[in-house]
Structure 1
Amino acid sequence: MEKYNEFKYKVISETKDGKTKQLYWNIAFGLQDVDNIKPSEYMLQLAKENVEGKKTYTEVYKQIDSYYKESTHINSDEREADIVSARIVQMLSSPTFRFDYNTLKLYHKHLFDGVDILVSQKYIGNFRDYNITKSEPILDGDTVLYSDFSMIEDTLRYDFEEEKNQDYTEMSKEDILKRLATFTSRIWQVHPFGEGNTRTTALFIQKYITYLGLKDMNNELFKDNSKYFRNALVRANYINIPKKINENDEYLIKFFSNLLYKTDYQLDNADLDIKEK
């Protein structure tokens, strides 16, 4: 039986590489900026200790969880940023993945379970059963038209099936960028959840890109440009004929180009604001 030992499964353990750990925390903290929230100083210190190898991820998560369970004066925004960031780091650290629209639901549940981002916890990890709009500053207060709640599951099923049939091995770099931008834009436009859509989408897409073998990402972009990422998704899904504005994915393609091929396009939110045109 010894000759089969080399084929045994190996347990996935936390990386000891401080640079990689720092990258994951940077991404996680940066994504909170999408909703204008910041991690607490306590969370920043725990993350530093994790990067330095003084605490494991599990120890960090247990400490931050206990901290908020025992605290009598809670800043709800910091609590959300801290807990969701820790969970994002956990998911980024794991090489596991399944390409399925239900994975979006599971990611949403994992990130936001017990976090007060919605009126009711029943919507955490479940598709919304109501319709939504959202005033967007870059659209001069207008909103993207999101999918009707009754069509969420069918729309996602179609989008994922179409994506599953793509052959990235036959695509040029330009085609890969265009296709990833299209797929990301479509699932984000569905906006299947009441809150937390951009953070869930960003996590899913990073995991998907790694799954495709495109691992050499400059995903530091999510640290400093998470708002640009969201605003690029907004512009990719907004059309207003009277104002002569069409859906425009060029901004999202620039983001993915910098992410995957380390180009140096300037990612300036002012470029996406229709009032600046």
Structure 2
Amino acid sequence: MERDPFEEYYRQLEPSKREKGNAWNTAIGLQAVDGLKTSDYLKDTAIRNIEGEISFEEAQELLNTYYEHKPVKEDDSRVEEADKVSARIAAILSENAFTFTPNQYLSIHKRLFSGIFEHAGTIRDYNVTKKEWVLDGDTVTYGSALDLKETLEYDLSVEREFSYKGLDIDEVIKHLARFVSNLWQIHVFKEGNTRTTAVFFIKYLRTLGFDATNDIFAENAWYFRNALVRANYSNLQKGIHETTEYVEIFLRNLLLDENNELHNREMHISGKYAFAKKPNIETQKPNIETQKPNIDGVQRLDNVSAISRKQIQMIYNELGKKEFFGRTNVEQLLNIKSFRANEIIKLMKELDIIIPVQGKGKGKYRFKVGNK
């Protein structure tokens, strides 16, 4: 894998450098959704911006000047597109301003593609189909050109009224996966839909308290697009049903710092590119069931999501006999963020399979073992 030119900036103590490095990395990585690659000049310009030598506006002006004087070569137009759109995405992701409205969605497309697409910021006026590798050449059924504005307004209004109160993190992830999949399926524009949707979604996730600018988007942008395709495709004759499972896995890595493997070949509807099948989370159930006598209340795990069930079993296997454990132990064991560790601990408390331990500091627990 090509070395990330912005890696050193993630470790900087100065937040602005770290945040700008993440923004540039995400912006450049998102070009992969359309098979585009940026130039070395763009990366050099990005580093100058991160170092504070030039502003985002100056970086974009440098790119404009560079391409005005650069000799035109075959396929240069797509590199120019990738460079300019990357700079614009990085600038937008570095801004705090955002409104969850259809106008904001259209505005993002206009900012990203002005001077590149004649239709920048304009709703398409004809129906589209796109041959997809992951669908073996078939296409998703996209929104009708007659109803695009109304559909966009409806989807955003439904999400705006939705309450996340009382949902556990698995339910949050599942809901977010369906929301972004539906938003993308509308395909409001002639081109540039995935990049626009990704930027809008990242900005929205921040309003929900998530940090969504990291190397997951940068390194797995094509996976993200293919996952959106699979979330919106059914072929009952072939036994294929739309599923958000791949978007959910992507979001778990993006938002919860999990390390689920992301392979495009696993999503191909033919199955001919898939790796040899490994036991999945569902096939782990029997192992969990055999542990029932060891964990008080574990019978109620039947109502818990498969991923949480697996994580609880891992915690029990490693920490079940310990005198006590805390959030840090869970974070390190599962390689997850503190937010997710707190959610898992809260869930285990609600299931009444762990109890607080006194005299060992705040937030220490042990499993209720040996009870049936």
Shared fold (TM-score, shorter chain, > 0.5): yes
Deviation at 1:217, TM superposition (A): 3.4
Deviation at 1:58, TM superposition (A): 2.1
Partner of 1:12: none
Partner of 2:202: 206
Count residues with an aligned counterpart.
257
Query: Sequence identity of aligned pairs in percent?
Result: 43
Q: Say if 2:170 is the partner of 1:169.
A: no
Deviation at 1:26, TM superposition (A): 0.6
Letter in 1 for 2:246: Y
Q: Is the CA contact (8 Å cut-off) linking 1:217 and 1:261 kept in structure 2?
A: no
Pairwise CA RMSD: 1.4
User: What CA distance in whole angstroms lies between the structure 1 residues aligned with 2:212 and 2:190?
Assistant: 29
Q: Is the CA contact (8 Å cut-off) linking 1:135 and 1:143 kept in structure 2?
A: yes
Q: Say if 2:183 is the partner of 1:182.
A: no
Q: Is the CA contact (8 Å cut-off) linking 1:16 and 1:53 kept in structure 2?
A: no
User: What CA distance in whole angstroms lies between the structure 2 residues aligned with 1:73 and 1:16?
Assistant: 38
> What is the correspondence of 1:1-277 to structure 2 with a 5 Å cutoff?
17-73=16-72, 75-116=76-117, 121=118, 123-214=119-210, 216-217=211-212, 219-276=214-271
Q: Is the CA contact (8 Å cut-off) linking 1:255 and 1:267 kept in structure 2?
A: yes
Deviation at 1:71, TM superposition (A): 2.7
The structure that has the greater radius of gyration is 2
After superposition, the Cα gap between the structure-2 partners of 1:218 and 1:257, relative to the gap in structure 1 and judged at 3 Å, is farther
> Whose relative contact order is higher, 1 or 2, with alpha carbons under 8 Å and at least 6 apart?
1
SS of alignment partner, residue 59 of structure 1: helix
The worse-fitting range, judged by mean Cα deviation, of 70-79 and 93-102 is 70-79
User: What CA distance in whole angstroms lies between the structure 2 residues aligned with 1:125 and 1:141?
Assistant: 28
SS of alignment partner, residue 146 of structure 2: helix
- Deviation sequence 1:231-270 (CA, Å, 0-9, x none): 0000000000010000011000111111111111111111
After superposition, the Cα gap between the structure-2 partners of 1:104 and 1:218, relative to the gap in structure 1 and judged at 3 Å, is closer
The two structures have a TM-score, normalised by structure 1, of: 0.89
Normalized per residue, the structure richer in helix is 1
Structure 2 unaligned spans of 5+: 1-13, 273-372
SS of alignment partner, residue 30 of structure 1: helix
Letter in 2 for 1:80: E
Q: Is the CA contact (8 Å cut-off) linking 2:26 and 2:213 kept in structure 1?
A: no
The two structures have a TM-score, normalised by structure 2, of: 0.67
Letter in 2 for 1:168: Y
Structure 1 unaligned spans of 5+: 1-14
Moved over 4 A (4+): none
Q: Is the CA contact (8 Å cut-off) linking 1:32 and 1:38 kept in structure 2?
A: yes
After superposition, the Cα gap between the structure-2 partners of 1:98 and 1:218, relative to the gap in structure 1 and judged at 3 Å, is closer
